Amino acid sequence: MGNQSSCTECPAGYYCPSASASPVECPAGTYNPSLAQPDIASCIQCPAGYYCPNASSTINICSPGYYCPPGTEDAFNFTCLAGHYNSSYGATSCGECGLGYFINVTAATACLSCAAGTFANTTGQTECWRCEAGTYNSDMNASSCAACPSMEYLPYTGLTSCPELGSVFQSSFTGNSYGWLNHSSFSFSDAPLIAKALTWNNITGHLATVSCAAEWNFLCRTFGSLNKVWLAGKSDVDTWTWQSGAEIGQIFSNYNVCVPTSFCAWATDETFISDACLAANFTTKTWITDSCDTVNSFLIAFGNGTCGMHYSCLYYPLILSSIRYSAGLTNSWTFGRWQQCDHHRNKLRKWD
C-alpha cells in the first residue's frame, strides 16, 4: 500500500475552505464555537455586551466602564465618555450621570457626588457648577442652589450656607447700627466685601470701627456674650490702621501706643504679629491681636457716624449696676462703675 496523507479537523474559531492547507481565522468581531466549519459564514457576529478578538471560539463579556455593541472586536473599543458611567458587566451602553452628580474621566464605573456649594442641574455633567453669587447649597448631590435671603448681591460663589446677620442695635453715641455676623467660610479679606453686601434700613454696611470709649461701652454691653469678633483694624507689623468706615485709613495705634485722639482697648501690650487683625473680646472688654487666617465672626456697622469728641480721657459708665452722680464732669446722672484714662497710653483703666 502506498502512503496516504491524513487531514486535520478544522479548529473552533477558524474555518477551512475545501483543500486549504491551513485554517483561516474568524475575523475580529465574530466567533465560531464549532469544529470543521468550511467557510466564513460559520463565523457568527459577536452579540451585544460581549467582544470577540480574532479567532475567537467563545465570547468575552464586556467590563464595567466600557460597553459593547454587536460585533465588538476588543475589550476597550467603546469607552464610557466623561459624564457617563457603567458599573455592570456585559453592558451595551453607558448611562449618564444623574442630577447632582458628575464624572470628569472616561471609563468610569460610578459618578461622583457634587459637593456642598456646587450643583449639577443637567444629566451627563463632567463638572459641578459653583452656586452663583447670592445663592448657597448646604447639601451634597444638589441639582440647584437657593437664594440667600436679602443677600442677592453677596459677591461670592460656592457658598455652603448664607451669612446670617443677627439682631441689629443702634448706638446713640454714633448713630450707627451694629450687627454681629457669624460665618466660618470667609477670611478677613472677605469680611469688608461681605459687609458691603449687607444693608440695614437702606444703609450699606462696613466692618465696624471703634472711635471712642462711649461707643466701646455700648458694644460691650450689647454683645457681651461674644469673646472673639473681628473689627476693621489691621496691622502692618506694629502700626494699626482702620480698614473701613469713616475712619478708613486712619492709624489708631503705633508701637503699642494709642495714637492721640484715637481710642484703644488693648488687654495688655499687644503682641506684634506681621499681617495681624484686630478682634474684640466683649466679655472681657478688651482687644485681641490675632492672625487673619481664620475669621469666624465679625462686627458690621451700618452708618458712618463718629463719636464727635474724644471720650477716652473722661470718666464714663461701663456696666449698668448702680446710680451715681457725676459731679463736675457731665453734670448729669449716669449709671455704673467708672474707668479712667491712662494718659500715657490713652488706654482705659478701671477704678471703683
Residue 266 corresponds to which amino acid? W
Work out the pLDDT band at 104, boundaries 50, 70, 90.
very high
pLDDT at 126 over 80: yes
Phi and psi, residue 293, nearest 5°? -65, -45
Quick one: pLDDT at residue 66? 98
Quick one: pLDDT at residue 26? 97
Quick one: pLDDT at residue 268? 65
Phi and psi, residue 179, nearest 5°? -140, 150
Cα–Cα nearest to 74, from 108, 46, 94 = 46
- Structural domain boundaries of the chain? 164-351
Cβ(67)–Cβ(61) under 8 Å? no
Which H helix or E strand runs over 218? helix 213-222
Q: Comparing 84-98, 174-188, 260-274, which segment has the lowest mean pLDDT?
A: 260-274
Mean residue pLDDT of the chain comes to 80
Model pLDDT for residues 312-341, shown as the tens digit of each residue: 333 333 322 222 222 333 322 233 333 333
**How many Å apart are CA 51 and CA 44, to the nearest integer?**
12
Measure CA 68 to chain center.
40
Phi and psi, residue 221, nearest 5°? -65, -40
Work out the pLDDT band at 246, boundaries 50, 70, 90.
confident
DSSP 256-289: TEEPTT--B-BSSSPPP-TTEEEEEETTTTEEEE
Model pLDDT for residues 12-55, shown as the tens digit of each residue: 999 999 888 899 999 999 999 999 999 999 999 999 999 999 99
- Domain 164-351: CATH architecture, name and number where available: Roll (3.10)
pLDDT at 185 over 90: no
Other Cβ atoms within 10 Å of 150 Cβ, number? 14
